[in-house]
Amino acid sequence: MKIMASLMYLSLTLLLLLHITGRAAATVEEEAAAAAADRIVSLPGQPKVAFRQYSGYVTVHETAGRALFYWLTEAQSQPLSKPLVVWLNGGPGCSSVAYGASEEIGPFRINKTASGLYLNKFSWNTEVNLLFLETPAGVGFSYTNRSSDLLNTGDHRTAKDSLQFLIRWMDRFPSYKGRDVYLTGESYAGHYVPQLAREIVHYNAHSKHPIKIKGFMVGNAVTDNYHDNLGTVTYWWSHAMISDKTYRQLVNTCNFRQQKESNECESLYYYAMDQEFGNIDQYNIYAPPCNNSDGSTLAAGATTRHHMRLPHQPRRAFRPLSGYDPCTEKYAEIYYNRPDVQKAMHANTTRIPYKWTACSETLNRNWNDTDDSILPIYRELIAAGLRIWVFSGDVDSVVPVTATRYSIAQLKLHVTTPWYPWYIKNQVGGWTEVYKGLTFATVRGAGHEVPLFKPRAALQLLRSFLRGEPLPKS
């Protein structure tokens, strides 16, 4: 009887193991199939490349039907040995596909007729695997089936959904589990990136399958309401964009700690933008603006002081320019609304009832949850041992270098390497100071989107950041 019982127990054990193994094999096959379905064969008008690309949707909330869109461009060489860098654009409400991927750090640029693509030799996928995420739902191709989500979103949900995206995306691409992960972004991603990093750290504390986050890097980052706003009007005055009188009125009238300013303060802002700034691109005050056909610009004055702003106002018309092209959003909005492009990218599969735009004004106007300051998160993540870099293009007047310096100063960090100029191709690329727990760097002559204006310098920032090394002194 003992022998029979043992045989029965062995048989049951084998059956159970076969069942578990079968389920595991099925899961692996399902994940492989899902990843294969996301493979981009080629984009319309794309030059031939050797690296692989994937794009598609990951559902982050079944009940609401929220799904976030991503685009992965693997490293150009040895992708299995390279880390994963996740890029987020800000707004709130702006697309990482429109900006990060298409005019900053991605492998392709869109030509002026939006008929095709050409290569960006300073693409960050020369160094890493690049994952562009359109977050929150309602940005770009990301969507929700619960329309109220578009009228009631903010920092908290964005961070939670982005974490859920990463967890489920790594289930679809298991080769990235255990890989070093870095978060990067700019502008209002000064909120998104540290908030997501904190969510990951908290998730890792109780997870059997932690995400191997090593650090984050943000540029021209919205950080702290009071110091950002004080730094912004100071920049305007110090760069002769406004009069002494307007500067004094702004400082004496506005309460920079408030989310919503008084009517008197708002009037001063609009007066400065409309009457004193002149026809400039606020995102690079020394670059030519993208003009409408009548010679006027689409006023960045639509952006308001309290950072419920659109850092990338769509610009409708363009004129031929040499060098920097301030009208690149226009090309993206044509290209990504092409049905053949959407088909190639497995995008808009649910037929979203609005056209793809670089930024969602609906989300931006209905952003109902925002942190007054990200500095407490910095303190927590410095203590957690994450590598943290903050960089700033120094000719941006929207989230200017003075704002970032005022904010960082509030952390009162110990200086380990005093201020010095760093170099790229024998020229000063900017200036930097290293603190215990954080590195700050400026990029000389760069606007709000640093990699757009100074792509070679931005790539050097990435390389030094990944190595955990100071920027080159010569």
Question: Residue 448 in 3-state DSSP?
Answer: coil
281 is catalytic: no
Please give the C-alpha separations between residue 454 and each of 245, 358, 393, 450, 465, in angstroms, as whole numbers: 34, 21, 9, 6, 16
Please give the C-alpha separations between residue 193 and each of 186, 198, 330, 361, in angstroms, as whole numbers: 9, 9, 26, 21
Question: From CA 106, how far away is CA 128, in angstroms rounded?
Answer: 11
Question: Residue 204 in 3-state DSSP?
Answer: helix
Which residues are registered as beta bridge partners of 276? none
Q: Which phi-psi region, left, alpha or beta, contains residue 413 (left: φ > 0; alpha: ψ -120 to 50)?
A: beta
Cβ(432)–Cβ(405) below 8 Å: no
Indicate the Cα dihedral angle 163, 169, 171, 174, nearest 10°: -120
The residue annotated as part of the active site, out of 95, 123, 187, 464, is: 187
180 is catalytic: no
The residue annotated as part of the active site, out of 149, 396, 397, 464, is: 396
Structural tokens at position 110: 């869109």
Burial zone of 365 (CB within 10 Å; 0-12 exposed, 13-18 middle, 19+ buried)? exposed
Question: From CA 89, how far away is CA 105, in angstroms rounded?
Answer: 12
Helix boundaries (H) for 299-454: 328-335, 339-344, 361-365, 375-383, 401-409, 450-453
Question: From CA 399, how far away is CA 307, in angstroms rounded?
Answer: 9
191 is catalytic: no
The residue annotated as part of the active site, out of 61, 191, 227, 448, is: 448
Residues marked active site are found at 187, 396, 448
